[in-house]
Amino acid sequence: MTNLVTWRDKGAHVYIQNGAIVEECDVIFISVKPHMLADAIANMYDTLKTPNPRSKLFVSILAGVTIKQLQNVLGRIDARVIRVMPNTPMMVGEGCTVFAPGPKATEHDIETVEAILSISGICKQVPESLINAVGSLSGSGPAFVYLIIEALADGGVKMGIPRAMALEFATQTVLGSAKMVKETGKHPAQLRDEVCSPGGTTITGVHALERGGVRAAIMDAIEVATKKADELGVKKHV
């Protein structure tokens, strides 16, 4: 039995055989963890050998796994593949997604993927050579920002603000600051200068952050995350 559940009102189906998905769908999103790719693809092979497998578009969100690796794993160098790097804020309509089309992807494939992904935020095409770096900035970035929000709240708690209030204020401050950068078009350094009164509280706090190496630590995080994705890209997946 392949068809386990049908949510008729949503038009969604659940299968226990990935091959059945490939048979029935024109666009197949591959969304497993990179080390599970071989397993996920394994029972698609028979379907991929069917007369017209090129009628399918494969969209991968796997960190690090290259278009070439995907084509190899799919067993077809002519497979239509688009590599995507989404992020979790898509769940609230504020995603930052990039994609790189493989050599066999068509204009229509690109339009399809853009139409699906831009529903939940911004969606831009980038060269594949940039996708690991962008993945570290915007794909992993939410985790880095959550850590900053948590630290802001912890600082507030340390200075006596109740926990729930501190978290609410830290969250709104990050949201508002991001909106200022986006909507004013000013450079973040200019916006920061506008908050720093001479001899004031903010520049005193900025000094503490610089002394703590916050800027270098965040740059390092993007660098090591990108290198990690590059490593995944040279691993053999099957």
Ligand X SMILES: O=C(O)[C@@H]1CCC=N1
Nearest residue to ligand NDP, scored by beta-carbon proximity? 63
Partner interacting with residue 32 (select from ligand NDP, ligand X, none; CB below 5-8 Å by kind): ligand NDP
User: Does 34 sit near ligand NDP (CB under 6 A)?
Assistant: yes
Binding mask 175-214 for ligand NDP (x = CB under 6 A): ----------------------------------------
Q: How far apart are CA 138 and CA 188, in angstroms?
A: 17
**Which position among 58, 140, 166, 233 is part of the footprint of ligand X (CB under 6 A)?**
140
- The region of 11-19, 21-29, 133-141, 215-223 touching ligand X under the rule CB under 6 A is 133-141
Q: Does 233 bind ligand X (CB under 6 A)?
A: no
Cα separation, 56 vs 50, whole angstroms? 11
Binding of ligand NDP by 235 (CB under 6 A): no
By CB under 6 A, residue 95 contacts ligand X: no
91 vs 209, beta carbon nearer ligand NDP: 91
Range 155-184, binding ligand X (CB under 6 A): none
Q: Is 18 in the site for ligand NDP (CB under 6 A)?
A: yes
* Residue 32 engages ligand NDP in binding (rule: CB under 6 A): yes
Task: Single out the residue of 3, 24, 26, 39 in contact with ligand NDP (rule: CB under 6 A).
Answer: 39
**Count of residues that bind ligand NDP according to CB under 6 A:** 16
Dihedral in degrees, nearest 10, Cα atoms 158, 159, 162, 167:
-70
Residue 18 annotated in ligand binding: yes
87 forms part of the interface with ligand NDP (CB under 6 A): yes
Q: Minimum distance between the CB of residue 40 and ligand NDP, rounded to whole angstroms?
A: 4
CB of 207 to ligand X, least distance (A): 32
* 3 state SS for 177-210: HHHHHHHHCCCHHHHHHHHCCCCCHHHHHHHHHH
Closest separation in Å from C-beta 168 to ligand X:
26
Q: Which residues bind ligand X (CB under 6 A)?
A: 63, 135, 139-140
